[in-house]
A and B are shown apart, each in its own frame.
Chain A
């Protein structure tokens, strides 16, 4: 699905990432660790096809994105959902329902009433019905983040990229997210039982240990692939050292 041998472009210019060799297969659940400023957001933006890598080759759905025309790139982008960190960057001039409806209406040229049913379905799934008519700035950050998830899912993308989804959430919200993502990765009714490929970034592997199936770290501007859960457990000590070194 994603095959990357890249140096991501630096959108936020926090850090300079070196070469990353990464391959995502259907049904994978990746957790990518990194401390603040390690380049997780740039990495996700590059993986979502939002920016061209500074160097190297990035293949998404077996197509090299640097070769693609804008229309072809758009088709690929619609198969990937990206949820940004910290509030999800919702449009503050639109209500939650309008935010969620926007991708549907824009890409299918639907009127508001045509999108209503699909929007209601995803809002129910994410418990956002009571907030549907509110503008995002009136909601707490955790509900904004959830609305951003609903917006990313409304087109039913095959890959879901989540940039630090648990950042700043309380334990109850964290549990909701972990249960929801587990359901998605195992095949939910919303996706007609098809499992969704998920990639999350985090600064703490602990909540993802039981959920993610592949682990990697962005550290000192480099990519360290750890492997599966067994490898993560085995590398616990060296992992602590990796974090500690950076701190």
Chain B
């Protein structure tokens, strides 16, 4: 009996079926993931293009309906996040900038403060932290509300009324998030730089405000402003496109909305980090 079961559990090469099937199952798994990834990439690309075309083509159409929606999104993703951004800016200033200034002072290179602050806060931490904050607070809500609308058939109802769902639902969110992340990033940077100096001042770092802000001004170039604007609006656009795509561009049931939200967060984080990496190359080149 034992012998029989042992024989049935082995294939012709004498290996257990689990082990012999492992590479094939693994390849299937990798293949499936690769196909899904490619599909998502194409889907996101197509959705982004459609949104861009609608944005450009219908700028003036239904402006009395769409523009208030844009303002509402700016309020939601910008104005309402000011307290949270202030808190994060202060924390960033105290934790990173203040300590950095303190350390720079100890090794006697406090004249490097401006360059380091511009590289760390203006170019890197400010934009990415703001983007992640908006993703967490607003991006997830977008997937849930659009996913629910899709699941309840409200999107079909919009089409039946001749209302373009991309124009009515996606464009206001895209514009709102892009402008909000841009504005919030600048606000966060200002609060962080001020908070950092406050911390340094409390630590008795011998750095005069005019020296500190003078160093910052000298370290900043026009490219920093241009790239900061480009980077933050692209972060906003990426988050809007990914979250709207996950909520809207595929048939959903109510029970799928949670999964779509998780997926949107993951994809947005990866896309933002990749874009950030791309900008590092640009910064190194210029």
Contacts and interface: CB of A to CB of B under 8 A. Distances in A.
Given A105-B65, A110-B64, A111-B64, A92 B160 contact: no
Interface stretch (A77-85, A118-126, A199-207): A77-85
A152 B161 CA distance: 7
Contacts of A48: 160
Interface in A190-223: none
Contact of A109 (B64, B149, B161): B64
B160 A78 contact: no
Nearest to A79: B162
A2 B152 CA distance: 28
Interface in A93-136: 93, 102-103, 105-107, 109-112
Contact of B157 (A74, A90, A110, A112): A90
Interface residues of A, number: 27
A105 B65 CA distance: 7
A110 B66 CA distance: 11
Interface residues of B, number: 19
Interface in A22-75: 45, 48, 50, 74
Q: Is the contact region of chain B dominated by helix, strand, or loop, or is it mixed?
A: helix
B160 A84 contact: yes
Contacts of B162: 74, 77-78, 103, 106-107
Given A107-B62, A109-B61, A111-B64, A102 B152 contact: no
B157 A84 contact: yes
Nearest to B61: A109
A45 B61 CA distance: 26
A45 to B, nearest CB: 7
B159 interface: yes
Interface in B108-164: 145, 149, 152-154, 156-163
B163 A50 contact: no
Contacts of B159: 50
A243 interface: no
A84 B65 contact: no
Contacts of B145: 93
B153 A84 contact: yes
A177 interface: no
B62 A77 contact: no
B279 interface: no
A89 interface: yes
Contacts of B149: 91
Contacts of A82: 160
A168 B77 CA distance: 40
A111 B160 CA distance: 22
Interface string B213-236: 000000000000000000000000
B187 interface: no
24 contacts: A11-B156, A50-B156, A50-B159, A77-B162, A82-B160, A84-B156, A84-B160, A89-B154, A90-B154, A91-B154, A92-B152, A93-B145, A102-B65, A103-B162, A105-B64, A106-B62, A106-B161, A107-B62, A109-B61, A110-B64, A111-B64, A112-B64, A151-B161, A152-B161
Given A77-B162, A105-B65, 14 more contacts: A50-B160, A74-B162, A78-B162, A84-B156, A84-B160, A89-B153, A90-B154, A91-B154, A91-B157, A102-B163, A106-B161, A107-B162, A110-B64, A148-B157
